[in-house]
Chain A
């Protein structure tokens, strides 16, 4: 890809993937580490983490802007979620980098009840119309902005872009149900998720497994399962496609009359081809679950998923040694996705100069972070979700089964104008209720207080020339090139 980050990585003699807060990492840091470990046994819980974090700060040479802990935590919150309000940034900063990482990763232990209570009730079961679609899109965007568990939403978005289904074929109720499934299983074992998504009504419609019957195999799902979800091209034959399609027969939708409304699938034995199939050199009376069980343990699957996760969270085109380590982690942990994600956020590479601002904000990230800065009501969320289309991303409607392309492809002359204009309309919409914030505070929260000298001067000139124009000033910060990157 032309996204290849070409900056130098920090000088270090440790492997680039070394986990900073593991016992092992502390031990190898020498005297400082040994002292800290001795001290640490006297402490517990959060305090232990903070001590380890300080050791890390002493022994790790952060480069550039990431030397500042506030920037590190802001970077972490941009990547694990959708940026931060000033209050959120302060709260996570108080935990330190390691504590914040831990808190974000341990989201299944955290309650989201307060947010659940304010999210609008959505009932997509009735229709396929534009209002229903807009309602679920606004609901998800609001959740991204307001959730107390940012990584949960980020992981859900990750899976939506990998295990794709879309409103061009599936109905809103089915997409909404799939969204809950992806959220629920986001950090679990990959095989469990693939088995569940194989039977998910939105997926069954999107890739036609609902019509895949004994004697009438349909290749669509089987092909994409291998090409896009697991091994990638070059690791299976056309015969493997044909044979595995037979294995996935038998699952169908509950209530065939309402195929775009039903959110339940069911196994019907007489529709399943129970005969022998030969798949990747093995022969047996395979089911779809058996096919998943043969694909997930393959090294190429581990490497491909690791690459996808690392590129989504850290930077594109990761080094082979990083992928090797993450693939090992995946394979040693029963194909657990959470273990890989945890590893990524503990890596030095995640806080390297190479990672900093190495991703382009996707429209979902851009709009969610903009709304965190401006505030929004339920109507505003729906409007903003709808306004994402001309930026190239419509929630629940990926462009095709390969999901959204990332990186440079988000930026062209049309999308860039739209991104800047959206910041303008969002700030104008909320202009009456924007809290007064200094330029310093705005840039600190939104762009790490790290902009080019000329932009700093330009923002200052705007503030001076337009005193009291909070909406205009906030817009100018949101329109900076720095804010376009994540």
Chain B
């Protein structure tokens, strides 16, 4: 299954995969440059010092890094650019998400168990990548995901049946589109809740998740869902806070530390449950940051940035081309790999789905994944 990690706000790619030998990097980043402790991958590039777990995965051949990922005529708006990545269309829009289209495909070819837990998101909202014609569940806790009975003087009154009737009647009497939406959503919710209650798996984390870390809690919830055998095909988690126009360094350092620790615990956890070879993790962000730092010790919106793919399904290594810091477009990096090429590689090589149909075009398949 695929776990998508969204780095929301625009991750500073140059301070994640660091061209530490490039004089232009040091010149452009007088206060933000990472001078010490860069975890070298080769003579030119290294990982941010806080990405120790990812470096260990790299050493084990389980981390693929695609460099300089972006798209033509980049949009510097968070929301426009997110929409581009979420829909895998340079026009963006509100259609189904690229992974939502994958869920639709599973449905069409009958490969889908078609229950509400095949697409899950940790949090309170269903992310646009998973927008689809099939049910997708936002999960905040497996235990509380149920309709509470009414307590009448100590005795429990189950209200599922009457409420199901209310909502099903509203499907035809209620206004479009909400009548149908509310009915379908309640049905999906109860279906998912019954599936969760029926599982007798008792999950015990086998990785050390840091406390007070929302990304760690989110990944732990995803691990619990996977370990409980609920049929998850794609999962989504978000780590926000990357839009650092000012005083970037301490915030970014902490975010990458949280990301690294959470991912490390997640992979340990799955390995501990014998599921280490079942999961591919992929990170994305709507854009990178401007090459030259601004006057507030931060960075403004930029363009291309690296993507990480993690797990035993990957063929570790660097892919694509590191963008030049000398040949910029309005102060921004020129992308070298189209993000849809990475999507296509994952859809085709890992999810075994027809990438060109789902992406509406042919994109180069990168050899990121084991056959």
Contacts and interface: CB of A to CB of B under 8 A. Distances in A.
User: Do A and B belong to a common assembly?
Assistant: yes
Contacts of A455: 165-166, 169-170
A418 B146 CA distance: 9
Contacts of B157: 466, 472
Contacts of B298: 208, 211, 218
B182 A416 contact: yes
A461 B162 contact: yes
A212 B296 contact: yes
Interface in A392-416: 392, 399-402, 405, 408-409, 411-416
Given A220-B300, A413-B116, A213 B295 contact: yes
Interface in B246-285: 246-247
B128 to A, nearest CB: 9
B300 A485 contact: no
Interface string B154-189: 000101001101111110011111110111011011
Nearest to A455: B166
B177 A424 contact: no
Given A5-B175, A6-B176, A416-B189, A400 B124 contact: no
Nearest to B8: A400
B182 A411 contact: yes
B138 A413 contact: yes
A59 interface: no
Contacts of B140: 390, 414, 418
A183 interface: no
A421 B170 contact: no
B236 interface: no
A475 interface: yes
A414 B137 CA distance: 7
B114 interface: no
Interface stretch (A37-45, A73-81, A84-92, A353-361): A353-361
A360 B178 contact: yes
Nearest to B247: A211
A389 B177 CA distance: 25
A481 B167 contact: yes
Given A414-B124, A458-B166, A211 B295 contact: yes
Interface residues of B, number: 68
A233 interface: yes
A216 interface: yes
A411 B167 CA distance: 13
A245 to B, nearest CB: 9
Nearest to A472: B150
Contacts of A415: 124-125, 138
Interface in A408-441: 408-409, 411-418, 420-421, 424-425, 428
Interface string B180-215: 011101101100110000000000000000000000
B183 A481 contact: yes
A452 B170 contact: yes
Interface stretch (B40-48, B72-80, B362-370): B72-80
Contact of A413 (B170, B173, B189): B189
A482 B185 CA distance: 14
A211 B296 contact: yes
B90 interface: no
A357 B174 contact: yes
A96 interface: no
B147 A458 contact: no
Interface string A154-178: 0000000000000010000000000
A316 to B, nearest CB: 11
B290 to A, nearest CB: 9
Contacts of A143: none
Given A414-B189, A452-B166, A472-B157, A217 B178 contact: no
A476 interface: yes
Interface string A443-477: 00000000111110010011000100101100110
A357 B173 CA distance: 12
A274 to B, nearest CB: 16
B193 A233 contact: no
A453 B135 CA distance: 28
A472 B178 contact: no
B181 A411 contact: yes
Nearest to B170: A481
B294 interface: yes
A67 to B, nearest CB: 16
B240 interface: yes
Interface string A128-168: 00000000000000000000000000000000000000001
A251 B168 CA distance: 56
A213 B178 CA distance: 48
Interface string B1-44: 00000001100000000000000000000000000000000000
Contacts of A216: 294-296
A238 interface: yes
B113 interface: no
Interface string B303-343: 00000000000000000000000000010000000000000
A278 interface: no
Contacts of A227: 77, 79
B241 interface: yes
B178 A485 contact: yes
Given A217-B294, A391-B124, A411 B185 contact: yes
24 contacts: A2-B177, A3-B177, A208-B246, A208-B296, A210-B246, A211-B298, A212-B296, A213-B296, A218-B294, A357-B174, A358-B175, A390-B140, A411-B185, A414-B138, A420-B163, A425-B148, A452-B170, A455-B166, A462-B162, A466-B152, A472-B157, A476-B159, A479-B159, A481-B170
Given A220-B300, A223-B76, 4 more contacts: A400-B78, A412-B138, A417-B193, A452-B173
Interface of A: 1-7, 168, 207-208, 210-213, 215-220, 223, 227, 233, 238, 241, 356-358, 360, 389-392, 399-402, 405, 408-409, 411-418, 420-421, 424-425, 428, 451-455, 458, 461-462, 466, 469, 471-472, 475-476, 479-482, 484-485
